[in-house]
Structures are given as C-alpha cells and as structure tokens.
Amino acid sequence: MTKEKSNEGILASENAQLKQKIAILEHELCSMKMLCGTAVESGGDTQEMQTALKQSQELLQSVFCSIRDSLIVLDRHWRIVLTNFRGDASKEAPPDVVGAPCYIIFMGRERPCEECHVLTAFHTGQPVCVEKTSPITGQSFDIYAYPMFNDAGEVELVVEHAHNITAFKQQEDALRSALREKESLMREVTHRVKNNLQLVASLLQIQQGTMDNGRDSTTLAAAQSRIRSIALVHEELYQAKDLSQIGFRTYLEKLVPKSLAAHSLGRSIEYELDLEDIVLSIDQAVPLGLLVNELVTNAARHAFRGKATGRVYVSFVAEGDTLVLCVADSGNGMPEGMDIYTATTMGFILITNLAGQLRGQLSMDSGSSGTTFRLRLPRHETGTRFKFDHTERETNGT
C-alpha cells in the first residue's frame, strides 16, 4: 500500500511538472508565431528578430529534451509536428518521423486508431487520458492529450504525453500473483485446520465409546460438539470468496440441525430458523458459533426432560448497527431463581464468557412454556481473543 501511494505521488509530481513545461511550450510557440508575423509585416528578417526566433527555438528544444517521457505535437491530420523521440534526449528523431502520421510511427497501423484520443481532444477541446499498449514494443503507456488553441480560440495542435507504465504494470501483476498465492496458501491452511479439528473430534468420539461412566461420556460428547462448531467455521471460510469473513446464515443453517441431531437423546425436536444474510469476521464468527452451539445443545439435552417432542427457535437479525441473536425452546423452563452469571456449569460459564468477548448483552427469559436467550452485540466489534474466565466460579458438569 505504501509503495502504491509513493508511485501515485511520483506520477502526480511528474504530471504537474509536465503541465508547467507544456505551458512554456504553448508560450514559446505563440512567441514564435508572433515573431514570424512581425517579420512578415515588416517585410524583412532583421538580425534582432532572427536572434529572438533562434533563442525561442532553442528554448523549445531544451524543454522538449528535458522531458523523460514521450512528447509529441500533432496537427489535425495526426501528423507529427514536433517530438522528442520517445523522451530519449540522446537520440535524434529519424528524418521520416516529423510530418509522418503518429499511428504509423508509434502504433504500426495504416489508419488512425478507433476511438482516437487525439481526435477527441481536437473535437472537445478538453484534455484526454487513456491507457494503451504498443503493439510494436508491447509496453504500456498512460497517454495524455492536451489541446493547444490559436488566437481564434480553435484547437490548432494537440500535445500528446506518453508516460511509460510498463514497470508499474509488472509490479501490479506481481502483486496480484503474490496475492493469489497467499490466498491459495490460506485456503490450504484453513482446510488443514478444519481437518485437524475433525480428527480431534473423532478421537474424542472413539474415547467416548470406551467409557463406562455416563458423566464422562457426556462431557466428551459436549467437547466434540464444541470442536465441530469451530471446524464448521473453517469449512465455511474454505468455501467463501473472502477468507476473512463468512456468511453466518449459511453457517447456522448447518450448525443448528447438526447440534440437535447429536444431542436430542432420542427425542423428536423440530427447529425453526429466522436468519438474515449477515456477514461476520472470523473474530466474531468463532465465538458466536460456539455460543449458539452451546445454547442449542443445552436446549436439546436439558429443556425437554420428560417430553418426547420439542421445538427450538433460532433467529439472527440486524437492527441498525446492532446484531440480535435469539435462541428459544418450548421446554420446561429454568429452575426458579436461576442466574446465568452465577451458574457453575461449564455450559453457562462458557456462554457468559463468549457473550463478554463479543461485547454483547445477554439476557434470559424463562417460564413454564420455555426459555429464551437473547444476545445483542455490535455489528462491527471484533472483541478480544477468547479468554476463559472462571475466577469466582467452579465448574460443575457440562
């Protein structure tokens, strides 16, 4: 980015200097015309006029040769009136260049270019800027065409300035190539992270199958679910166009049914989703995905005790600059006096820590017809890296 700004500054400075030199050229050309006109009117070439004309021509040539870029003065028939021969002051222009059409000399064409910028400058009287690649050399140029007016206010000549941007184009291509390589590498890393997380979850599943203790088995199942929710974020990132953010609607459409299926304990639990197309950064997606997984998992395992069926509702919508997540169930409700911020279970400690990381406001409304959790968080707040805080609470179960 710094290099691009530096290049832009150099171009702006060179263009400003070029405009000053073109102004000098216009002044000198007018002076030469005035001297020629005075000489004709006086009927003779005085020594003084010849000296002034020679000085003016020398100054004009000096300005031309001091410009590093190609500078060409053209008439209405695309004929070259003056040129510094592509900005190389050490070379004299070939004798057949002056007076020849520019499209033959510089573009290798037999007729003028389509949508000719020189012709546009003649017709509009306005400066024109285009980018072109020479079919002869393969080099790229930013070309500026500046109209020059006569005493009657008509465009008499056009000064064409060609700035070679081949090196800039090559740098741009190199940056694009490096960016593609970096993106490919990031996708590979994301894919490997997802595979490794799934491998860890599978190992925990195998370990779970060897356990006789029901509580330990449940703990490992909860750990698997949390790991898979993170793996799903990386899976969505791998498939996304932008590796820095994911569409959270698609993510939740996959996460909710998977979490319910893994923890329904044989119950028939239906679910309803009300989701808007909201894009989140990975810093928000990972903790929010864990939080949703935790709420849905808790609902599936604990909300419907004594019931064969149940229903879970998940919504995620935007209200201005605030995002609102709602997870509700039709279960039995929480025990009376339940406070999620003082609860000692692993699940509630994790939920409140994640809400804090997201700079969110978490609330719970519970009754005999079910429980509703609502989280309000700022849309663009990235929060801090997750830090598990249980200083004043001892964990109890999952």
CATH number for the domain that contains residue 296: 3.30.565.10
Cα gap 85→252, rounded to integer Å: 65
Residue 207 within any structural domain of the chain? no
Q: Which domain holds residue 242?
A: 231-378
The confidence score (pLDDT) of residue 306 equals: 85
Residue ending a domain, choose from 135, 153, 170: 170
Are residue 9 and residue 84 in the same domain, yes or no? yes
Q: CB–CB of 260/312 below 8 Å? A: yes
Residue ending a domain, choose from 137, 170, 203: 170
Residue 383 within any structural domain of the chain? no
Are residue 162 and residue 283 in the same domain, yes or no? no
Q: Which residue has the tokens 């919508």?
A: 317
The confidence score (pLDDT) of residue 7 equals: 53
Residue 50 within any structural domain of the chain? yes
Are residue 272 and residue 130 in the same domain, yes or no? no
Are residue 151 and residue 12 in the same domain, yes or no? yes
Residue 356 within any structural domain of the chain? yes
The confidence score (pLDDT) of residue 52 equals: 72
CATH number for the domain spanning 13: value is: 3.30.450.20
Number of domains in the chain: 2
How many beta carbons lie within 10 A of that of residue 395, not counting itself? 14
| Structure-token pair, residue 313 | 């509702």
Are residue 39 and residue 147 in the same domain, yes or no? yes
Residue 283 within any structural domain of the chain? yes
Are residue 166 and residue 235 in the same domain, yes or no? no
pLDDT along the chain (398 residues), means of 10: 52 60 57 49 61 72 72 85 58 63 79 83 88 81 88 87 86 83 74 77 77 76 80 74 81 89 85 93 87 90 88 94 94 87 85 91 90 90 48 51
Residue 385 within any structural domain of the chain? no
Are residue 371 and residue 281 in the same domain, yes or no? yes
Residue 393 within any structural domain of the chain? no
pTM above 0.75, yes or no: no
Residue ending a domain, choose from 170, 189, 223: 170
Are residue 133 and residue 10 in the same domain, yes or no? yes
How many beta carbons lie within 10 A of that of residue 254, not counting itself? 13
Residue 32 within any structural domain of the chain? yes
